[in-house]
Amino acid sequence: MSYAPYAPPQHSQGHGGGYGPVYQYSPLGWKTTAAVGGIAGMLVVQPLQTALALVMADTLRHPTPEDLGVILLTGVVSLAQLVVSVCTYVFFLMWMHHAAKNVRAFGQQALTVTPGWAVGWWFVPFASIWMPFVAMREVWRASDPETVGPHAQRPWMSAPVPAKLGIWWATYILNGFLAMGIAIASMDFSGRSPVAGKPSAVSFLSHGLLTVAGVLIIIIIRELARRQEAAWERLSSGDVHGRAQTAASPYDATNPYVPTDTSNPYAPPRPG
């Protein structure tokens, strides 16, 4: 590593502010692909399970030895739904944590939800009804390319939020309440869940809401990943342009010993 006696101090591209941790940008990449793929898988497996429950309701209520294959198929589909759901939540939360770190690498200040809490709020009772949406909204705004860099056109807090974010969260939460109601209604007085019967109209409504929420979050994930890439490209190109200008003409023509860029006190005096 060469030593440049007149080089200015180096600093990170973005940070959490104060004495917090330093964050470095990296593309969301495979986490976007994994989260989108998992959600798409859920949108396929869940209707399949509902269709099986609808067609095989009587068989499951009064099974015979000949129905073993049907029962086994239903169990396999249910297990697949569980595995896909768990993997999807893991991939999505990894993606969310990464996206929240990236906006700090852009140098955005006054952020209220840390990367850790962007994940943690999903597991806090009652707060999970609202705070995960707050985290997503904040990351969306702070990823706006027009809010990054020294020549930002507006502060990130005033960046617009599309209606699809609110619709996604509303359908997701409403589906959660409906699913909870269906589970409670299916319990008998002893607290045991009876053998599955035909899905009710409420079940189909719940699946419809989940489908809408799933499609919207896929769109949001993909768009937010592109926004962050555009924000980083803008920030990086702006830094390169600024360095090129300083290197091209660092001196005042009337006084060769005074740098034109007063923000760089380490510029060397012009040779005589």
Domain ranges in the chain are 90-239
Q: How does residue 34 score in pLDDT terms, banded at 50, 70 and 90?
A: very high
| 264: confidence class by pLDDT, cuts 50, 70, 90 | low
- Segment 245-262, tens digit of pLDDT: 333 334 444 544 444 455
Q: Evaluate if residue 144 carries a pLDDT over 50.
A: yes
Mean pLDDT, the chain, rounded, equals: 79
Instruction: Look at residues 37, 44, 55, 40 and name the one whose alpha carbon lies nearest to residue 77.
Output: 44
User: What is the mean pLDDT of the segment spanning 32-45?
Assistant: 95
Q: Which amino acid is residue 89, in one-letter code?
A: Y
Which helix (H) or strand (E) segment is 75 a member of?
helix 68-105
What letter would DSSP give residue 15?
A: B
Neighbours of 14 (CB within 10 A): 22
Residues 118/135, Cβ–Cβ less than 8 Å: yes
Angstrom distance (rounded) from CA 115 to CA 218: 20
What separation in angstroms does the CA of 241 have from each of 113, 228, 237, 245, 260?
32, 20, 6, 6, 16
What is the average pLDDT across 75-92?
A: 91
pLDDT at residue 210, as a whole number: 92
Query: φ, ψ for residue 259 (rounded to 5)?
Result: -65, 145
The pLDDT confidence band at residue 171, using thresholds 50, 70 and 90, is very high
Per mean pLDDT, which range of 49-58, 84-93, 215-224 is the poorest?
Answer: 49-58
The confidence band for 16, taking pLDDT boundaries of 50, 70 and 90, is: very low
Which structure tokens are listed for 214? 């799933």
